[in-house]
Amino acid sequence: MPDDAKLSVPGEFDVVGCDLPPIVGDWRATDWGDPDSERLTTLREEFALDDVIAGAASEFEALLALKRWVRSRWDHGWSRAFSTVKDGLDILREAARGEQFTCGFYGTVFVDCATALGFPARKVGVGLCDCSFPRDHRVGNVGHSVAEAWCNEHAKWVMFDPDLNVHYERGGVPLSALEIGDAWLSGAAGEVAMIEDEPAFVTPTGACLEALGELYPELAEGAEERIALNFERFGRHRAIDYYARLRIGGLEWLDPRCPPTFVRHFEPSGGARFTSHVPDLYPSVNLVGLSAAPSWGAEGAWLAITLQHCMPWFDHYEARVDAGEWEACEGGHAGPVSRIEVAYARPRW
């Protein structure tokens, strides 16, 4: 800048560093539910969900505690109530009466409980690559249902399986369902750790198999032996092979290493919308972006900052300047600033 031009600038200033999170995808395309709805409020209060995660040292630990708790409510099985339960509250009430449910119901309960506590979460359907005309150990079970929740401390989606009571990590970082599937398809499953928790999965036996026989008469004969064998085979690769296919909210992941199929376990699989664009399935949430416009004149200099968020249940922004105290953003800041940090208010839990 020429020296004479500098005379019109009220002081010198430079941006010496910045750290803006990448915000991708369209978080508005998903119905995240309403934590304050009547059903979810009842769920939170009736089952004391705040106590479930009380004492958790972090959001990730809180989500792990929730996963453990959901697993503890019943053992995997089948129920005559399959067709009557409508949401997580119904399922938990039936489980308290002794009913047992399969993986999809665990996912529903986890997502509803996470939403009631203010964590963005969704169900995820996963499946084997060889699911059309399965043979040997794949017959009888080619898919699985899990859940994902957005974890603020890791700034990413993380898969939680409340049925098997596990999550997966690679290099100490918890993985999403897509990352687990990519590891399998790329031959890197050995680098993925399956983190098991208590209570452990229990193979169904006894009375719940009677309900299985009523729901699926063709499976009634020899059910106990067949189910035991199916679950033994289900875990032969720590279930990582079940993440080769991925479906979230009506969108199915398209991967050339596992071409799409329209037959699932000898039956038409139904319609699907495909995508190979990661942000379609994995939009950012709970992050803050900004735009800035400088100006100056006779009265001084300003840097007008506009914040944008991708938070499903936004309440207010908080900011701190030069490592000071966090304060709600209700206006501007006057005076020299070397660093501004912006974050959301603490999660409701």
pLDDT in tens, 95-142: 999 999 999 999 999 999 999 999 999 999 999 998 887 766 556 688
Among 84, 77, 85, which residue's Cα sits nearest to residue 210?
Answer: 77
- For 281, the token pair is 């399935």
141 or 151, higher pLDDT: 151
Least confident of 13-27, 158-172, 237-251: 13-27
Residue 159 shares a structural domain with residue 264: yes
Which residue's structure tokens are 């972006």? 289
308 or 173, higher pLDDT: 173
* Nearby residues of 10 by Cβ (< 8 Å), 6 or more positions away: 296, 300, 301
Among 197, 219, 193, which residue's Cα sits nearest to residue 208?
Answer: 219
- Look up the pTM and report it: 0.89
Q: Pick from 257, 281, 305: which residue ends a domain?
A: 281
Residue 259 shares a structural domain with residue 299: no
25 within a domain of the structure (yes/no): no
Q: Pick from 281, 307, 331: which residue ends a domain?
A: 281
- For 329, the domain range is 3-20+287-344
Residue 86 shares a structural domain with residue 65: yes
- What mean pLDDT value characterizes the chain? 87
How would you class 68 by CB atoms within 10 Å of its CB: exposed for 0-12, middle for 13-18, buried for 19 or more? middle
pLDDT at 258: 95
271 within a domain of the structure (yes/no): yes
- For 187, the token pair is 């031959």
Give yes or no for a contact between 139 and 119, defined as CB atoms under 8 angstroms apart.
Answer: no
pLDDT at 344: 54
27 within a domain of the structure (yes/no): no
Residue 205 shares a structural domain with residue 340: no
Average pLDDT, integer, range 193-202: 97
26 within a domain of the structure (yes/no): no
Average pLDDT, integer, range 307-312: 90
273 within a domain of the structure (yes/no): yes
Q: How far apart (Å, rounded) are the C-alpha atoms in residues 105 and 146?
A: 9
Which residue's structure tokens are 């300047």? 321
Residue 259 shares a structural domain with residue 121: yes
Q: How far apart (Å, rounded) are the C-alpha atoms in residues 174 and 42?
A: 31
pLDDT at 1: 47
Residue 160 shares a structural domain with residue 304: no
Q: pLDDT tens digits, residue range 14-51?
A: 777 778 888 999 999 999 999 999 999 999 999 999 99
Q: pLDDT tens digits, residue range 43-88?
A: 999 999 999 999 999 999 999 999 999 999 999 999 999 999 999 9
Is the pLDDT assigned to residue 155 strictly greater than 80?
yes
CA atoms within 13 A on the CB side of 95: 22
Q: Pick from 266, 281, 296: which residue ends a domain?
A: 281
pLDDT at 335: 44
Model confidence band, residue 334 (pLDDT cutoffs 50, 70, 90):
very low
Q: pLDDT tens digits, residue range 291-309?
A: 888 777 777 677 778 888 8
